[in-house]
Homo-oligomer: A and B are copies of this chain.
Amino acid sequence: MTRAQSGNRPAFDTLIQMAALHGAPDNPAACPIRDVLDRVGQKWTLLILIALTPGPRRFSALQRQVGDISKRMLTQSLRQLERDGLISRQVYPTKPPSVEYALTELGQSALDPIAVLTDWADRNHDRIRAARTAFDATA
């Protein structure tokens, strides 16, 4: 079993372990990886989580901050995140009603893996783009 530079031993073991059981095809939600990956794959979830990092945000504020997201998708994504316990939803019954979304503790904890991921993405984006150009040139 060869291994290169990896500095995350415990996390790495989890990964190996996951590679072994490779998920239950009949019940995808039973496999933590697939379950979480489904959410991560959702075009907007991570962007929303990131947008909430500095602090609580209202619906419209979120929409402006994420940029090109429709109200439909924002609502949908927020619901899912709330259901998963990653964000909380607080309604203030003012005259024009306002709703504030915030990261829960669980959501906060999710930021760590996300940060590691985006950090990797940021550091290696150039290499990836270079690899693509090289590949396209060969092909």
Contact = CB atoms under 8 A, between A and B. Distances in A.
A22 B64 CA distance: 10
Contacts of A54: 1, 16, 19
Contacts of A135: 82-83, 85
Give the number of copies in the complex: 2
Contact of A11 (B115, B127, B130): B115
Contacts of A130: 85
A73 interface: no
Taking residues whose C-beta sits less than 8 angstroms from the other chain, chain A's interface range is: 35 or more
Nearest to A120: B113
Nearest to A12: B115
A61 interface: no
A7 interface: yes
A134 B106 CA distance: 15
A1 to B, nearest CB: 6
Query: A84, A113, A127: which has the most chain B beta carbons within 10 Å?
Result: A113
